[in-house]
Amino acid sequence: MKTSLSLRHFLLALAVVAVWGSNFVVIKVALGQFPPLLFATLRFCMVVCPMVFFVRRPAVAWRSLAAYGLLIGVGQFGLMFVALNGHISPGLASLVIQVQVFFTIGLAMLMAGESVNRVQLLALVLAAAGLGVIVTHTDGSTTVLGLGLILLAALSWAGGNLVSRAAGRINMVAYVVWSSLFAVPPLALLALWAEGWGPMLAGVMRADARAWAAVAWQAWGNSIFGYAAWGWLLSRYSTATITPMALLVPLFGMGCSAWLLGESLPPWKLLAGALLMMGLALNLLWPWWLRRAKN
């Protein structure tokens, strides 16, 4: 595996994290016209069609596809869209959702019976301190409910990570497409129950080109391009080379939200972001630094 990114591949990785970061602003734009659960349903419908007719089903059990579709489709994106519908700002959401890293590690350790080392504990304390800053500064744009929903979305994302990891080395794009088949029905039923047929129909009827472009960006940019490019890079470079690039996602998220939506960045937000990012960076980069020190 290569350990040094070429300029072209660095720009590709940068494009992926830019798409993933700016995605939170795109979500906010679409939620101005679609109810959140309807928007989630449309997103996964567009992931499935027409790709399911062109991508062969990955060689994994149906239960793996179903579990991933429910955890990522309903758990991660369903809850995140509801939270972003007036309960938390896009910039903060892009930051807080990254605690999925700690949830993934925690769930993996719980299943394997492993203990947390000192560096991981310090990283967790830093991230928790960042969340504590956010909790003490909730206002009209960021509520305790919104923060709680994003944390649950992050936990669902972590569960999805473990399910996909257990599936082994597979075509991730095919996995995302076929697992989305299991996300659409429950999301549609939840939308009918929580939002009602009338608001759903009204949302579809009044949606303009910008709203449908946001759905397409979610499905094709965030899922198809993002996973395809990221998986391609991971197949050619070491995990330690590619994974730290994901630390730029919150920077793009908060930057785009401030630039395009006018989200304010008071000192407490910057402090919370710095603490969370320090925790994430320590957790991701410490193993790489340790390996370099031994060599």
| Per-residue model confidence as pLDDT tens digits over 93-115 | 888 888 887 787 788 777 766 66
> Three-state SS for 235?
coil
Answer for the pair 54, 120: CB distance below 8 angstroms, yes or no: no
Tens of pLDDT, residue by residue over 120-155, are 778 778 888 888 887 777 666 678 899 899 999 999
Q: How confident is the model at residue 17 (pLDDT cuts 50, 70, 90)?
A: confident
Its pTM stands at: 0.85
Element holding 182 (H helix, E strand)? none
Alpha-carbon distance of 10 to 243, in angstroms, equals: 12
Tens of pLDDT, residue by residue over 168-221, are 778 888 999 999 999 999 999 999 999 999 989 998 899 899 999 999 998 998
Alpha-carbon distance of 291 to 283, in angstroms, equals: 14
Block residue for tokens 């830019």: 18
Q: What are the residue boundaries of the structural domains of the chain, listed by start?
A: 7-294
Token pair of 289 as six digits: 């630094």
Alpha-carbon distance of 161 to 19, in angstroms, equals: 20
Question: What is residue 235's predicted lDDT score, i.e. its pLDDT?
Answer: 66
Question: What is residue 278's predicted lDDT score, i.e. its pLDDT?
Answer: 83
Block residue for tokens 């809850």: 79
Alpha-carbon distance of 188 to 37, in angstroms, equals: 7
